[in-house]
Structure 1
Amino acid sequence: MNPVTVIKLPFTRQAGWKELQRRKPSIAVLAWCLVLPMSLLPPVLLYYAGTHYGNEFVAGFGEREWRFITTILFLAELLTFCVMGWLIHAVVNGTRELSIGYHDAYLLAALAPLPLWSSAIVLLIPSLLLNALAVLVALGISCSLVYHGLQALCARSDNDVTTMSATYTIMAAGVLAWGLLMAIVWAY
């Protein structure tokens, strides 16, 4: 799949989704070749920001135990992939109008956090405002990715209201998990 098609995924239900569904990368391949390397990006860059910028990023930022925090963050990201795949399957199949298989649910769970993981690159710039803005934009793109992914991957996905409702539920659970994770990280 070419990079232009991947960039189009959050903005349309046609471009790339059927090709991904047809290729059927296994859940193990998704975990090892996509989730594992991409989920390393935020902890590594957070460690870099914490150890190099210190308090110029945020007051008290430099005194944290970054090795411990980033290890916990990495492990939580891997666990979140497993939980989100199950959650997407449960939420979508809990409706009468939509249906999704486990494979497609985990495909979506692997693709949905890509914008958020990629937004960690902005941690190379010591600006809290810029980093917060990057995360908000990435969250919006991630929501769009889930919505268009559900439209493309679900059987019987003619009802947009049901697809929006499932997207809202999935993203609300994801944001709640992310918020809890950030609270734990910030507590240390």
Structure 2
Amino acid sequence: MNPLTVIRLPFTRQAGWKTLQQRKPSIPTLAWCLVLPMSLLPPVLLYYAGTHYGDGFVMGFADREWRFITTILFLAELLTFFVMGWLIHAVVNGTRELAIGYHDAYLLAALAPLPLWSSAIVLLIPSLALNALAVLAALGISCSLVYHGLQALCERRDNDVTTMSATYTIMAGGVLAWGLLMAIVWAY
């Protein structure tokens, strides 16, 4: 699949979704080849920002134990992938209008955080405002990715309101998990 198709995934339910669904990468393949390398990006860049920018980035930023924090963040991101796959499957199959298999639920769980993981690249710039803006934009793109992914991957698409409702519930769970991850970072 070419990079242009991947970039279009959050904005349409046609481009690339069926190709991804037909390739059927296994859940372990998704975990090893996509989730693991991409979930390394935020902890590594956060460690870099924490050890190089110090209090110039955020007050109290320099006094943190970044090795411990980033290790916990990395492990929590990996756990979140498996929890989100289960959540997507449970929420979608809990409706009468939609159905999704475990494979497709985990495919969506692997793809949905890509914008958030990629937004960590902005940590190379020591600007809190720019980083906050990048995370908010990535969160919006991630929501769109879940919505269009559900439209493309679900077996029945009779009711778009049901797809929106499922997206809202899944993203609420994702934002809650993300908020817990950020609380872990700031608690230590």
Residue in 2 that maps onto 1:22: 22
Describe the SS at the equivalent of 1:68: helix
Cα offset, 1:157, TM superposition: 1.3
State the alpha-carbon separation in 2 of the partners of residues 123 and 162 from structure 1. 36
Deviations 1:135-169 (A, max 9, x none): 00000000000000000000111311000000000
Unaligned stretches of 5+ residues in structure 1: none
Cα offset, 1:181, TM superposition: 1.4
Runs of 4+ off more than 2 Å: none
Deviations 1:83-136 (A, max 9, x none): 000000000000000000000000000000000000000000000000000000
The number of equivalent residue pairs is 188
Residue in 1 that maps onto 2:33: 33
State the alpha-carbon separation in 2 of the partners of residues 70 and 186 from structure 1. 11
Deviations 1:15-43 (A, max 9, x none): 00000000000001100000000000000
State the alpha-carbon separation in 2 of the partners of residues 41 and 158 from structure 1. 38
Cα offset, 1:184, TM superposition: 1.7
Scaled by the length of structure 1, the TM-score of the pair is 0.99
Asked if structure 1 preserves the Cα contact closer than 8 Å seen for 2:84 and 2:109, the reply is: yes
What is the correspondence of 1:142-181 to structure 2 with a 5 Å cutoff?
142-181=142-181
**For the aligned residues, what is the CA RMSD?**
0.4
Unaligned stretches of 5+ residues in structure 2: none
State the alpha-carbon separation in 1 of the partners of residues 46 and 180 from structure 2. 17
Asked if structure 1 preserves the Cα contact closer than 8 Å seen for 2:73 and 2:184, the reply is: no
Cα offset, 1:67, TM superposition: 0.1
Moved more, 175-184 or 122-131: 175-184
Describe the SS at the equivalent of 2:15: coil
Scaled by the length of structure 2, the TM-score of the pair is 0.99
